Chains A and B, each alone.
Chain A
Amino acid sequence: MKKKVLIVEDEKNLCLLYKEELTEAGYKVTAVMDADAALKQMRTRRFDLIITDIRMPKKNGIELITQIMALRKDIPIIINTAYQSYKHDFMTWAADAYIVKSSSLDDLKAKIKELIG
Chain B
Amino acid sequence: MIERYNPFLHEFPAEMSKEFQLFLIIAQSFFQPFSLLDNLLVIMTALTAGHGVGFNRAMLFLADGQKLKGEFWLGPASPEDAESIWRVLSTPGIGYAEIIEHNRSLLNGGADTLTQRVKQLVYPLYQEHPLVPALAISSRELLLIKDAWNEPLLDPRLLEMIHTDEFLCIPLLSGQEVLGEIILDNAITRAPIKSRDVELASICGLIAGNYIYTSRLQKRIIDMKKVAAMGEMAMFVTHQLRNPLVTIGGFADQLLDPKTGPKKRKRNLQIIRSEIRRLEKTLLQLTQFLRVDVREKSTIDIREMLNLVLEAVRPRLDSQKLTLDMEIEAGLRAVLCDPIHTGEAVRNVVDNAIDAVENGGKIYVRAYRESSDWAVVAVEDTGPGIPESVKNKIFESFVSTKEKGMGLGLAYVKRVMDACGGRIEIKSTEGRGTTFKLYFRAEPRK
Partner of A17, one of B238, B251, B403: B251
A14→B239 contact, CB < 8 A: no
Q: Mark B190-213, 1 if CB is under 8 A from A, else 0.
A: 000000000000000000000000
List chain B residues, Cβ under 8 A from A102: 246, 249
Q: How far is the CB of A31 from chain B (nearest CB, A)?
A: 14
State which size class the interface on B falls in: 10 to 19
Among A16, A57, A83, A103, the residue within 8 A (CB) of B245 is A103
**Cross-chain contact of A84 among B238, B252, B271, B274 (Cβ < 8 A):** B238
Interface positions of A from 45 to 99, Cβ below 8 Å from B: 55, 57, 82-85
- Interface positions of A from 90 to 117, Cβ below 8 Å from B: 101-105
Given A13-B247, A55-B239, A82-B242, A103 and B275 contact (CB-CB distance below 8 Å): no
Residue numbers in A under 8 Å from B274 (CB-CB): 13
> For this complex, into which size category does the number of interface residues on chain A fall?
10 to 19
Instruction: Say if the beta carbon of A21 comes within 8 Å of chain B.
Output: yes
Complex: A16 Cα to B254 Cα, angstroms: 12
Q: Hey, which chain B residues are within 8 Å of A36, CB to CB?
A: none
A14 touches B249 (CB 8 A): no
The answer on a CB contact under 8 Å between B243 and A14 is yes
CB contact under 8 A between A103 and B253, given known A14-B247, A57-B403: yes
A82 to B242, CA, bound (A): 6
Does any Cβ of A come within 8 Å of B14's Cβ? no
- Do A85 and B235 have beta carbons less than 8 Å apart? yes
B278 to A, closest residue via Cβ:
A13
Inter-chain contact A101/B243, CB cutoff 8 Å: yes
Count chain B CB atoms within 10 A of each CB in A20, A103, A104 and give the residue with the most. Answer: A103
- Residues of chain B contacted by A13 (CB below 8 angstroms): 247, 251, 271, 274-275
Identity of the chain A residue whose Cβ is nearest the Cβ of B268 in the assembled complex: A17
When the two chains form their complex, are residues B275 and A104 in contact, meaning their CB atoms are under 8 A apart? Answer: no
CB-nearest residue of chain B relative to A15? B247
Tell me the interface secondary structure of chain B in the complex.
helix
Across the interface, name the chain B residue whose C-beta is closest to A10: B403
Residues from chain B with Cβ under 8 Å of A20 in the complex = 254
Output the nearest chain B residue to A58 by Cβ-Cβ distance: B403
Chain A nearest Cβ from B128, distance in angstroms: 47
Residues of A within 8 A of B251 (CB): 13, 17
Residues of A within 8 A of B235 (CB): 83, 85
How distant is the Cα of A18 from the Cα of B275 in the complex, in angstroms? 16
Cβ–Cβ contact B238 & A83, under 8 A? yes
Contacts of B252 in A (CB 8 A): 103
Contact with A along B217-261 (1 / 0, CB 8 A): 000000000000000000100110011011111111110000000
A104 to B246, CA, bound (A): 8
Q: Which residues of B contact A14 (CB under 8 A)?
A: 243, 246-247, 250
Q: Give the Cβ gap from A29 to chain B, nearest Cβ, in Å.
A: 14
Residue of B nearest to A103 (CB): B249
Closest-CB distance, A21 to chain B (whole angstroms): 7
Are A103 and B243 also in contact (CB < 8 A) when A83-B235, A83-B238 are? no
- B239-295 contacts to A (CB < 8 Å): 239, 242-243, 245-254, 271, 274-275
What residues make up the interface of B, taking CB atoms closer than 8 Å to A?
Answer: 235, 238-239, 242-243, 245-254, 271, 274-275, 403
Q: What are 16 of the A-B contact pairs (CB < 8 Å)?
A: A10-B403, A11-B243, A13-B251, A13-B274, A13-B275, A17-B247, A20-B254, A82-B238, A82-B246, A83-B235, A83-B238, A84-B238, A85-B235, A103-B250, A104-B253, A105-B250
